[in-house]
Amino acid sequence: MEIILKQDIDGLGYKGDIITVKDGYARNYLIPKEQAIIATESAKKIHEENKRQRAHKEEKIKNEAEEIASKLADVNIKIGAKTSSSGKIFGSVNTIQIAEALRKEGFDIDRKHISIEGDQVKEVGKYKATVKLHKEVKAEIDFEIIAE
């Protein structure tokens, strides 16, 4: 079944994409949760018109995201954590702590848009995180875990 997404869905697509999914998934999950609509001919025409009108706004948003990405490339974050004598962290460092550290640096980025390879860090050292600012713009930031 062809559907038009009404919002971004991880692993499926972005808002406004016309995609094909299994009938049951569309009818029983996506459409009742108002995450998608059926892609009929009239819905496709309306979608195309809205897409044309939104193109200019999207370009502006993308440029702003690229600007933020270039600023993020220069940022180096240090996150303090309580550690054992061997360098293992009590608990772990995850996207919540990175989002808080970025907020202190002046970047208001939601933790859901930040990803760390392996989801969390359990040892002292230097790591990289990926920040998804726009569907076409991603930035990598370096962060370091230090012992407190």
Mean pLDDT by 10 residues, the chain (148 residues): 91 89 94 93 90 83 89 86 83 87 88 83 86 87 86
Domains of the chain: 2-68 (3.40.5.10), 75-147 (3.10.430.100)
Residue for token digits 């819905």?
A: 43
For residue 62, the SS3 value is helix
Least Cα distance to 26 among 4, 51, 48 occurs for 4
Strand order in the sheet with 76-81: 76-81, 137-147, 125-134, 114-116
Residue for token digits 């930035």?
A: 139
pTM over 0.75: no
